[in-house]
Structures are given as C-alpha cells and as structure tokens.
Amino acid sequence: MKIERLKRRLRRDRPMISVTLRIPEDVVEDLRYIAPLRGFSGYQP
C-alpha cells in the first residue's frame, strides 16, 4: 500500500456509512471504555 493511500485511510474525517453488527456485550463495554482514551467522543465511530 502506498504511503499516501495509507495516510488517507488513517484520516478520521473520512466519509462513513451506517451498518448494523451483532457484537458480544463485553466487546461493546470494552469499546465504550477504550473510545475516549483513543480520542473518540463515543464508541460508535
């Protein structure tokens, strides 16, 4: 993968779409805990 493409993939302001996933509850709990530590306002992004 080229460096420029990788940089674009790492941008947080990329367009997004909504999807529905079935995820175990404990994983969602972990995401809720980790998200603010990684700079996200919530676990959904």
Amino acid occupying residue 31:
L
The model's pTM is 0.49
22 phi and psi, to 5 degrees? -100, 115
Residue 1 above 90 pLDDT?
A: no
Residue 25 above 90 pLDDT?
A: yes
Q: What is the DSSP string of 1-45?
A: --HHHHHHHH-TT-----------HHHHHHHHHHHHHTT-SSS--
Extents of the domains making up the chain: 19-45
Whole-number pLDDT of residue 9 = 83
Whole-number pLDDT of residue 10 = 83
Mean pLDDT of 14-39: 90
Instruction: Characterise 39 by phi-psi region: left (phi > 0), alpha (psi -120 to 50), beta (else).
Output: left
Mean pLDDT of 15-43: 88
